[in-house]
Chain A
Amino acid sequence: MTTLITARQMIWADVLRLRKKRGFIALVLAAVIAPIVIVTGYNVIQHASDPAAHAPAGGLHNYARLLDMLGVFMGPVAAVLIGAEAGAGDLAAGVFRDNVITGRSRLALFLARIPAALIVCLAVTGLGFAIGLAATFGFAGGLPTPNASLILESAAWLALANAVVCTIAIGVASLTGSRPGTIAGLIGWQLVLSPLLVQSSSLGSLRNGLLDGAVLFLKPGPVSGSPAITMSVAVAVLVLLVWLAVLPSLGAWRTRTRDA
């Protein structure tokens, strides 16, 4: 019982240190919300100025674009920022050593970072999704809108996509002990290298091992278009699990063995 209470307190303590970093939270929110606001605003103005040439800013088509922004581009960027801060923030502040000398298990210290970061990450993603959803319905005009089932599937997919990236970022940050290195490396991978590799048909089935390929394959059907890589759901889930097992495990190992 005491262990559970301690675990819960440690998680909320990590949430506290993340959410109270106001500049950082502002940056993360800006990364997620600003693109939605800018794109929607631009579309609203275009539609208002020439309704015949430009479709309304909401509706199903724009909803698909919202999912791309939140699940493939800016959502993962925010997830990387949050994961890097959660994974290496205590090292950067020098507090990791003080936590270790309490006698608390280093594995427990590492494990507390994951749910804490996910709480913040999913709250930010959820806020972005809520704003995007409001725009989808609010500016739909006469266009079709997503039904409840698609909204639920989309929410689940967004949570999965960003949670996976966030957890991986915690693992990499804990492994390297460097926030800037983790952020630069993972954003470079996520926004540049990985999309290029997904599109490189010459790599054949090797692309099945890419995180992006699996995430995009699991995107809800009605708004996914045709995925660049085809695979079974089982393979996609397996790919995600392997990514989730390897990098966080390395992070946990380094947290346990690091000289504090």
Chain B
Amino acid sequence: MQTVGLTKRFGERTAVDGVSLVVPRGAAYGFLGHNGAGKTTLIRMLLGLTRASAGSATVLGLPVPAQRAEALARVGAIVEEPSFYPHLTGRENLEIAAAVRGPETRSRIDQVLHRVGLDKRAGDRVGTYSLGMRQRLGVARCLLSDPELLILDEPMNGLDPGGMLEVRRMIRELVEEEGRTVFISSHLLDEVEKTCDVAAIIDGGRVIAQGSIEELVADRAGELVIECDDTERALSLLAGDPTIRNLRREHGGLRMSLVAREQAGEINSKLVTAGLVVTRLEPARRSLEERFLEMTTRLEVAA
């Protein structure tokens, strides 16, 4: 899936501003942003639910909206939250979805219900389902057409930790065992970090970073974390070093900024020579949440 300069304006307001994305095949792709950042609007344009004001998009290599029908026949999607007829059972809702998809999908109903673990509740009315069960039924509906690409808008919304774990596992299985591409929009940074291989961060309608999760959380400022048997001594040994900045205690160890990453070896040597036992020395790895907040805050300050 690819977008080039995709833009959506609502009157004077620009909801999505020249977004260019490349979603690799066979990966879980996180589309991360605050509520109202433009995530759902972008998904709606990709699925032909609303027209783009400018730019272009291809889904599974096919241009949308020009070849929307062909493209979407191989896509399963949940936008905002999965909706169902509450007076019908889970199975009947899937029968309706299968009827719209085409005759070949009806035979997959039992299989997808089993796949999402709803086979035992398939005969119950959807009105009695928990949110987590409705999310799973939504994924089952997506899988009816055996899609190459799944687009899930906020799939963790409203789920308890157990439900989040279930959905996360399911997404990883869809990617790793079945080779599907899964595009997830979310404002839950931790979940994207745990679930996705690649991510883009959107803020104010613009993509401000994209890449693998490793790249996004990588420590570009050269921060180092050290743990040893005597933190106080280590602190006093390193305090006078002019090449070390921002030295501070953190979680029972020390954290500091280096001028160059190669200094790590010298610091280790200095501590060991002083008779300290170094139990941990590694580049600081910030969470995606920290990285996200750092980037979005920087943009807010610049604005």
Interface residues of A, Cβ cutoff 8 Å to B: 2, 5-6, 9-10, 12-14, 16-17, 20-22, 89, 93-95, 97-105, 109, 259-260
Question: Can you give 29 A-B contacts (C-beta < 8 A)?
Answer: A5-B103, A10-B99, A12-B99, A13-B95, A17-B85, A17-B96, A20-B88, A93-B84, A94-B83, A95-B96, A98-B78, A98-B141, A99-B97, A101-B47, A101-B49, A101-B72, A101-B77, A101-B79, A102-B72, A102-B101, A103-B72, A104-B69, A104-B100, A104-B101, A105-B69, A259-B50, A260-B44, A260-B49, A260-B50
Contact of A10 with B49 in the complex, beta carbons under 8 Å: no
**1/0 per residue B62-77: CB within 8 Å of A?**
0000001111110101
Instruction: Give the CA-CA distance A101 to B96 in the complex, in Å.
Output: 14
Helix, strand, loop or mixed for chain A's interface? Answer: helix
Given A102-B72, A259-B50, A6:B95 Cβ within 8 A: no
B145 contacts across to A, CB distance below 8 A: 102
Given A102-B72, A259-B49, A16:B88 Cβ within 8 A: yes
| B25 contacts partner chain A, Cβ-Cβ < 8 Å | no
Interface residues of B, Cβ cutoff 8 Å to A: 44, 47-50, 68-73, 75, 77-79, 82-88, 92, 95-103, 106, 141, 145
Contact of A97 with B79 in the complex, beta carbons under 8 Å: yes
Contact of A97 with B69 in the complex, beta carbons under 8 Å: no
Given A2-B103, A103-B70, A103-B72, A95:B92 Cβ within 8 A: no
Instruction: Give the CA-CA distance A176 to B49 in the complex, in Å.
Output: 18
Contact of A20 with B102 in the complex, beta carbons under 8 Å: no
Instruction: Give the CA-CA distance A102 to B73 in the complex, in Å.
Output: 6
B69 contacts across to A, CB distance below 8 A: 103-105
Contact of B83 with A9 in the complex, beta carbons under 8 Å: no
Contact of B97 with A98 in the complex, beta carbons under 8 Å: yes
B99 contacts across to A, CB distance below 8 A: 6, 9-10, 12-13
